[in-house]
Structure formats: C-alpha cells, structure tokens
Amino acid sequence: AQTVTQSQPEMSVQEAETVTLSCTYDTSESDYYLFWYKQPPSRQMILVIRQEAYKQQNATENRFSVNFQKAAKSFSLKISDSQLGDAAMYFCAYRVGSTLGRLYFGRGTQLTVWP
C-alpha cells in the first residue's frame, strides 16, 4: 500500500530564514513521482515542486528545493529566505508512474512565518 507520512503537524520559521519540512513515503514501486503542494488560507492547492523518482538530481524551483533520498524513501522540502507569503499548509504527495493518476497525500504541515 502507498502511504505518505508527514511527521511535523506544525513548523515555524523567522522571515528570511530557512526551514525544512519532512516527508517519508512507503512504496514497492520503482517508477513514481513526488510532489509538494501548498495550501494557503484561500484553500487553493498550488504546486510547489515535483520530483521524478528516476532522476538523481534534486529538483529546485527558486527558493524551494528538495532533498530526495530514494533508498530511505524520504522527500523533504527546503524553503530558503522564507517570506510571509510562504505561510500555508504544505502537503507532500506521491503518485505511481503508471496510467492510474491518483495522488496519495500526507496529512500536511502547517508552516507559520514570523516577521
């Protein structure tokens, strides 16, 4: 069974500092995709970053980067130079790389950014 675990229900960071959100997943598949989505108070789900399991290089999108450890089944998100607008619920998600496109989500980490 595919499961996604986010062990930090809440995290906080000072503006301009760096924070890392943790995510682990359980799968027997070799071909899959991993995602981080952000859900601000508006509740809109916004894609932050995506990683293909076959790629060894960690994905990066501006201030957002991931640490993908395939053997450990770990997929953490690092936010550098945190901004007030980064405050949101962050969800880690997993999808098998087949024709069935369902996403499996973790329970989320609520990130607070202090000025």
Q: Which residues bind other proteins (CB under 8 A)?
A: 4, 33, 35, 37, 42-47, 50, 91, 97-108
CA distance 63 to 56: 20
Give the residue with the Cβ less far from other proteins, 72 or 100. 100
**Residue 115: CB minimum distance to other proteins, A:** 26
Spatial separation of the C-alpha atoms in residues 42 and 26, rounded to whole Å: 30
Q: Which is nearer to other proteins, 16 or 46 (CB)?
A: 46
User: Would you say 23 and 74 are in contact if contact means Cβ atoms under 8 Å apart?
Assistant: yes
Q: Which is nearer to other proteins, 68 or 91 (CB)?
A: 91
Distance in Å, CB of 43 to other proteins, minimum: 5
Name the minimum Å distance from CB 95 to other proteins: 8
* Torsions phi, psi for 85 (to 5 deg): -70, -5
CB of 16 to other proteins, least distance (A): 29
In order, the DSSP letters of 21-45 are E--EEE-S-SSEEEEEEEE-TT---
